[in-house]
Amino acid sequence: MKATDDAVAPLLEVTDVRKHFPIGRRPLFGGAQPVLKAVDGVSLAVRPGETLGLVGETGCGKSTLARCMVRLYDLTSGSVNFNGSDISTLSRGDLRPLRREMQVMFQDPYGSLNPRRRVGSIIGDPFTIHGVAEGDERKRKVQDLMELVGLNPEHYNRFPAEFSGGQRQRIGIARALALNPKLVVCDEPVSALDVSIQAQVINLLAELQERLDLTYVFISHDLSVVRHVSDRIAVMYLGKIVEIAGVDDLHDHTRHPYTQALLSAVPSADPDAVAARERIVLTGDLPSPANPPTGCRFHPRCPKAQQICVTDDPELVSRLGDVAVHQVACHFPLADGELLTVSKPAIADIDPDLGFDATAAAKGTSS
């Protein structure tokens, strides 16, 4: 495990970042533009050399947060500090030199490579854009990169369509690493790949981190993958971080009911462990981020929720005497060894805005 002490200045620090997307039309008379709160007040820091995992179910805002981190999106509010300087309000032109230091790896190995361009020119793009190398030098550098990520440099002139999914993801890695970045944000880099290929790509990423001293933000909805690669894990729910901790801490001292539910859903290869463990199936769906629940966003689905959860939004702080880096946003964090036994929501919360009756839904699923 790499250094996770607080003494090191973070490479990337996001503070209270919000990203709201306008949805639909603004009402003609009065009324505010309806917005979808994809990311709603997230603060976290990434230290040099570590891998920060970011997990959460589909639609919780992971990818939006990732795009905010590297300023592919403009922020609604909040700030992003990269390498000591505030980049949250820089214009695209001012961001350009910084693009060399932070790169993104995309999820879809089919969609992230231009089908009409040759692999050599795709991987060489960073060199051209930043005026680093031209002509033969560029070609040599590209072929070095292809070798680095385990591609045949002779396939320089092929089109992306001629590669398999895993190979395409290697092309994406080569492109991201071309300019020797400090930070690589991996947006579900393996979720579109077969399991056997996933392992290859993950091992390649780990190996490259070692060799090139990279810092990763690793996004996935697959907790087992994240656990394998990360030093720390942040769990997101509906645009907010509900728990953040070191990998072992998160696993051994799970505090947030949502985290426990998520962990219990990870498939295990050990049949005894599966038998010993009760899987917590949460009822209800992820509420709409356009109209999130009041207070703690998890309360309509939480078995431990009480009245305060409906009214007060819990802060993300260290609780129950945990180390400072283990923070949880919950009024009633789970004690060590405490297991959720029921998966029904504790509050019969009929929220007219949501049009969703949690108890009725719970009955519906249990019967």
**Subset of residues 29 to 88 that bind other proteins, contact rule: CB under 8 A:** 70, 72
Examine residue 149 and tell whether it contacts other proteins (CB under 8 A). Answer: no
**Subset of residues 124 to 143 that bind other proteins, contact rule: CB under 8 A:** 125-126, 129-130
Interface pick for other proteins out of 18, 118, 139, 251 (rule CB under 8 A):
118
Task: Say if residues 42 and 79 touch (Cβ distance below 8 Å).
Answer: no
Which residues sit opposite 215 in a β-bridge?
A: 183
* Distances 73 to 44, 62, 97, 185, 271 between C-alpha atoms, Å: 18, 13, 17, 14, 44
Angle (CA) 208 211 214, round 5°: 65
Examine residue 26 and tell whether it contacts other proteins (CB under 8 A). Answer: no
Examine residue 159 and tell whether it contacts other proteins (CB under 8 A). Answer: yes
Tokens 């997990």 correspond to 55
* CB neighbour burial string for 299-317, b if at least 16 within 10 angstroms, e if fewer: bbbbbbbeeebbeebbebe
**Subset of residues 91 to 110 that bind other proteins, contact rule: CB under 8 A:** 95-97, 99-100, 103-104, 106-108, 110
Interface pick for other proteins out of 33, 89, 114, 307 (rule CB under 8 A):
114
Binding span for other proteins by CB under 8 A among 158-166, 298-306, 320-328, 355-363? 158-166
Interface pick for other proteins out of 161, 265, 281, 360 (rule CB under 8 A):
161
Say which residues have a Cβ less than 8 Å from residue 95's Cβ, sequence separation at least 6.
Answer: 71, 87
- Residues touching other proteins, count (CB under 8 A): 37
> Side chain identity at 95, as an amino acid letter?
L
In angstroms, give the least distance from the CB of 264 to other proteins: 32
Examine residue 264 and tell whether it contacts other proteins (CB under 8 A). Answer: no
- In the complex with other proteins, the residue whose CB is nearer, 77 or 164, is 164
Task: Say if residues 247 and 241 touch (Cβ distance below 8 Å).
Answer: no
Q: What phi and psi values does residue 62 have, to the nearest 5 degrees?
A: -60, -50
d(CA 170, CA 191): 14
- In the complex with other proteins, the residue whose CB is nearer, 165 or 284, is 165
Write out the residues near other proteins by the rule CB under 8 A. 70, 72, 95-97, 99-100, 103-104, 106-108, 110-118, 125-126, 129-130, 154-155, 157-164, 172, 175
